[in-house]
A and B are shown apart, each in its own frame.
Chain A
Amino acid sequence: MLKVENLVKKFGDKYAVNDISFSINKGEVVGLLGPNGSGKTTTMNIITGFLSYTSGSVTINGYEILENPSEAKRNIGYLPDQPPLYPEMTVKEYLNFVYDLKGCTLNRKKHIMEICEITKTVDIRDRLIRNLSKGFYQRVGIAQALVGNPKIILLDEPTVGLDPKQIIEIRSLIRGLGRDHTVIISTHILSEVQAVCDRILIMNKGRLAADERTDELTKLMEGTKRVLAQICGSKKTILESLRALDGVSYVESSKEIPGTDATLFKIESNNGSDIRKKIFEMCAEKNMPIIGMELASASLEDVFLNITREKQTASRKTKKTSKIR
């Protein structure tokens, strides 16, 4: 459905997108994830034909975006990071304009009504876009991307600036779209990807850092379990005795708990086993009261930070070795 091969985009001599390749099949909901400035928006702009690329290729439903732009663009619906709305039009007029712009051949009234129903904009159809709230801006923006029933829908940070209820609604909307369309959303919010996407592409500094199914990526991190414990006593002794404990791979003292003589410790076990019992027994033996303890399983956040950090240190190492040479 969508195939990106060795895509490179340079602004001056800076690489915004550096040699990324992936392909996305029909009906997949894919999250494009990365910190700010990692090249997500640039990648989306290239896929939709708004920007050109320096080298590589982007094929949409069999059409190359620069060679057959109008055929390729017919298969795309795009919500840029700022919804492209005309404030002086009503929602209905705007959607009619987009319908004409995309040269649709579907039944106009029926199609636009369907889109309004999907995006829950039926009640605001006759209002000027200027007078809508941010949440509705976003909805009308999504509605615009749906006009013409494109096979691929790209949404650039679709939930930015929405309230929690709206975020939940938009997410379920996106998941619904995944039934009939291929959806790509870009975001830097990890829980969003976890909630919505089947597959995650992680970008960092213009490169593709990871391309995994969401459940596998989460599984990757379940190998290590982390315990957060608040233990009273001397920081040094506690650290030493925790490190000596069997099955503990990593201990770190964090902040002191105000009003007590306790400190917060982050403890990781190496084989994924639950070490809370062992910690309790050890502390009881040494008379170090535990005033709080919880098990925190790794989130996608950790995966993400791990992957981007690994890449960074890896690239730093190669830089160093090349200097030595």
Chain B
Amino acid sequence: MLAIYKRELYSYFTSPIGYLFVAILWAASGLAFSFFTFLAGQDANISSYFTSELIILMFVTPILTMKSFSEDRKLKTEQLILTSPVSLPGFVVAKFLSSYTLLGGTFIIVNCINLPIMFSYLSDQPLVVYNAVTALGSCVAVLLVGAAFISVGLLISSLTENQIISALGTLIILAALLGASMLNSKIGFAPLRAVLRWLSIYSRFSAFTQGYFDFASLIYYASFAAVCLFVTVRVYEKRRWA
């Protein structure tokens, strides 16, 4: 498992994909950050910043996951991995962890730079302590949503050997997951609205940016990721037993 994890991380940086991912995430976060602090003046707030981080992640996650399983399938290297003494869950988890290391690592580094600047800028505001705690809570939430996003990407990637389909499919599903709550008010049928709100990644997330640390949502994100990874394992099992 460790071998696959190391090789995956290594392969991100022997192809443009890893650099592309880090560059786009970093640049877009920087833009969003400037936009919601320096350029916002009196209206500077961390809620909009973290919401935009979520939308940025929606766009960059497919870059990270598009080749995960697709490429192994195309190169037939999955035959090597699946005939080696590594278990199927180990294989899937190793892929997940390598993508997650890159996503989480970049996010943490970017915010280690962004957030101190933000607080020094906001230090004359009365709510600075409240803001600091909210920011930390939001960071935790973004990291968990990132895990959920990656696991969706891995699941889609395991279904196709075409990287473009894998990336587009992931993007569409992530957009649908985020968009579900935005369309919510347009739906007349109340029970459906309730289910969608419960499922929606976005409406759960906005609570964090308002300073409300919701453990139930954290568990929701983690189980969302776990279910996707489990289904990915099943996809491979299914193919073996077909």
Contacts and interface: CB of A to CB of B under 8 A. Distances in A.
Interface in A52-97: 52, 69-71, 73-74, 76, 78, 80, 82-89, 93, 97
Number of contact residues on A: which range applies? 20 to 34
B187 interface: no
Interface string A218-235: 000000000000000000
Nearest to A54: B241
B133 interface: no
A159 interface: no
B127 interface: no
Interface in A249-289: none
Please report whether the interface of chain B is mostly helix, strand, loop or mixed according to DSSP: helix
A135 interface: no
Contacts of A101: 3-4, 80-81, 84, 86
Nearest to A144: B80
- Chain A CB within 10 Å, residue with most, of B2, B84, B87: B84
Nearest to A141: B80
B241 A70 contact: no
Interface in B25-83: 75-83
Contact of B240 (A51, A76, A84, A88): A51
A48 interface: yes
B79 A78 contact: yes
A164 to B, nearest CB: 26
B7 interface: yes
B83 A49 contact: yes
B109 interface: no
A103 B77 contact: no
B161 to A, nearest CB: 13
Contacts, number: 70
B23 to A, nearest CB: 19
B7 A86 contact: yes
A88 B84 contact: no
Nearest to A100: B3
A205 to B, nearest CB: 20
Number of contact residues on B: which range applies? 20 to 34
A79 to B, nearest CB: 9
A84 B75 contact: yes
A52 B14 contact: no
B242 interface: yes
B85 A102 contact: yes
Nearest to A83: B76
A88 B14 contact: yes
Interface string B103-121: 0000000000000000000
A88 B18 CA distance: 14
B101 interface: no
Contacts of A89: 7, 10-11, 14
B7 to A, nearest CB: 5
Contacts of B75: 84-87
B6 interface: yes
Contact of A50 (B2, B4, B79): B79
B86 to A, nearest CB: 6
A80 B79 contact: yes
A84 B3 contact: no
Given A84-B76, A86-B75, A100 B2 contact: yes
Contacts of B7: 86, 89, 97
Contacts of A85: 75, 77
A74 B84 CA distance: 7
9 A-B pairs with least C-beta separation: A100-B3, A84-B80, A70-B85, A48-B83, A84-B77, A101-B3, A73-B85, A88-B14, A80-B79
Interface of A: 11, 45, 48-52, 69-71, 73-74, 76, 78, 80, 82-89, 93, 97-98, 100-103, 144
Interface of B: 2-4, 6-7, 10-11, 14-15, 75-87, 240-242
15 contacts: A11-B242, A50-B79, A52-B241, A70-B86, A73-B84, A80-B76, A80-B79, A80-B80, A84-B77, A84-B78, A84-B79, A89-B14, A97-B7, A100-B2, A102-B84
